[in-house]
Amino acid sequence: MTSRPLIGVTVSRKSGWRVFPLMKLAIWLAGGRALRWQAGYRTVDLDAVDGVVIGGGDDIAPTLYGGELRVGVRLDPARDALEQSVLRGAFDRGLPILGICRGSQMLNVVLGGTLHQDAYEVYQGSRYVRTVLPRKRVLIEGESLLSRSAKASCIYVNALHSQAVDVLGQGLRVAARDEGGMVQAIERMSDPFALGVQWHPEHLVYRRAHRRLFRSLVAAARAERSAGGDAQLDAARQEAREDDARRERLWG
């Protein structure tokens, strides 16, 4: 078995062809391998991977969190269904999760949270920038998973989103906000690893703080795989002991 954990990555059917190579590079630099998942492209096998990235792209259908249907919003119901299934399966298996932009929002929605459909209308003090360059300042909560992962208390990020987390999902907390108060990162309050960031670190791998997010995911995936391997070894040993005991009873 290769020493590099395998990370399943969900992407948009429209933009996945250009986004996935960036994800693949970021995960490879972090010590992992990436597997592309998108609606209609490949059967998802969560038992074959060690971690999950839910990527950015299309808006989430507002019907999933009690929002309003609006004209001109780009939706992908097949992707919504795929990512809901991936996240729930990852929760069941204890797989580490990194949500990116839409992926952070989907992490929140699947755990029962809601979204602001027009976040900049709500947070008018938040600077509206739409760029892949790190032009927006984000303040990170101390003693958070994000602060330990990025090894920073504030970082500059890019911004391509119009939606943001409103009501938090079950078991989540805010890990970062921008200077206007808009939520920019969320995380699970207990293990296993689950972190959602509103920006796109795959475009910022030339900066250490953003590379470290992928490194933390891969490290968590490696630890999870090792724990699973230990559990399988323990189970095999227990089965061998039971076989020995049965033979002893039969043959004395």
> CA-CA distance, 12 to 37, in Å (whole number)?
9
pTM score of the predicted model: 0.88
**How far from the centroid of its chain's Cα atoms is residue 49's Cα?**
14
Given a contact cutoff of 8 angstroms between Cβ atoms, the answer to whether 195 and 99 are in contact is yes
What pLDDT score was predicted for residue 1? 45
- Number of neighbouring beta carbons within 10 Å of residue 239: 10
Given a contact cutoff of 8 angstroms between Cβ atoms, the answer to whether 153 and 209 are in contact is no
Domain with residues 6-251, CATH architecture: 3-Layer(aba) Sandwich (3.40)
The H-assigned helical ranges of 94-169 are 102-110, 119-122, 145-150
What pLDDT score was predicted for residue 228? 64
Tokens of 6: 């395998």
> CA-CA distance, 154 to 176, in Å (whole number)?
9
**How far from the centroid of its chain's Cα atoms is residue 238's Cα?**
35
What pLDDT score was predicted for residue 234? 47
Going residue by residue through the chain, which has 252 residues, state the pLDDT in tens, using 9 for 90 and above.
468 999 999 999 888 899 999 999 999 999 999 999 999 888 999 999 999 999 998 889 999 998 887 756 678 999 999 999 999 999 999 999 999 999 999 999 999 999 999 999 999 999 888 999 999 999 999 999 999 999 999 999 999 988 999 999 999 999 999 999 999 999 999 999 999 999 999 999 999 999 999 999 999 999 988 876 455 444 444 554 555 555 455 544
What pLDDT score was predicted for residue 113? 98
Given a contact cutoff of 8 angstroms between Cβ atoms, the answer to whether 79 and 58 are in contact is yes
Cite the active site residues: 101, 200, 202
- Burial of 56 from C-beta contacts in 10 A (0-12 / 13-18 / 19+): buried
What pLDDT score was predicted for residue 237? 43
Tokens of 108: 């929140």
Given a contact cutoff of 8 angstroms between Cβ atoms, the answer to whether 118 and 164 are in contact is no
Given a contact cutoff of 8 angstroms between Cβ atoms, the answer to whether 86 and 10 are in contact is yes
What pLDDT score was predicted for residue 74? 75
What is the b/e burial string over 171-184, where b = at least 16 CB atoms within 10 angstroms of the residue's CB? Answer: ebeebbbbeeebbb
